[in-house]
Structure 1
């Protein structure tokens, strides 16, 4: 992932805008991907996250889908190519898995932004020693943020790298709780 804790204000601003531009693209791609694979309907409801979670976990192991080798999401470190690109890498996910993570995290973000009253995209600030410093997050309340990318990426790592089972309702449960807490 792209780490911005030592980046300049300008680099953080560029990363923020690229991330937000990428979210819109990924939201369009997931709907197309769902249609192509006969996935669940992405109607923007919290309830839809149950089906999206199941679909995500079913498609995460697939790696046969060709992806342009030039594509990576804005939040990924371009110096760390995904695995399977024919170069030595420490990345635990392939380009296809990265695409799926990007699409699903964008959809989770869309649901949160739709249903949390005062949700807005912000650049995380705080101590520079915090790994999240400079990243784009959803601000729910003055002191509460939501990290859609972290939620989906961690689920993928648990499933792919650590071989830990992930509940299909994870996204639904977490988002429902965050929205409830945000009031």
Structure 2
């Protein structure tokens, strides 16, 4: 069942159709919350986001894609969480699936790749919050500029400029170490 059909059936009261949406987008929503600053509380953020999405499903514009709409809710919930903490949350990222490909019999290459990945993530964590959000959405979550703008509630020009500035800072920060 595609998103449109699942949404239509959910609006008619079919909870199994909404469960299909939850199953389809849970991993992405969790990764989004974690990378935007929810850290260990990403699970709670995602659960609250799905509850809010269900409650607000009647106001969803059916001609729009569901994924960015849901991720906007996740981003808002993450922002609420970090604001409620009263401090900037530590970014908690696990990127085992995006490891640089190395030969299984190359422990030195694997160690270098792990070190590079850790250094890059440290540099991303050090970006100013808005630049970090833009870079995370565009490159870690692989959202388009339009989807990133929708998720973060920014004009597309802000997405472009903050992504550009964030990437420039990252290049400067890791230039010597990562090549």
TM-score by length of 1: 0.32
Whose strand proportion is higher, 1 or 2?
1
Instruction: Name the structure where helix makes up a greater proportion of residues.
Output: 2
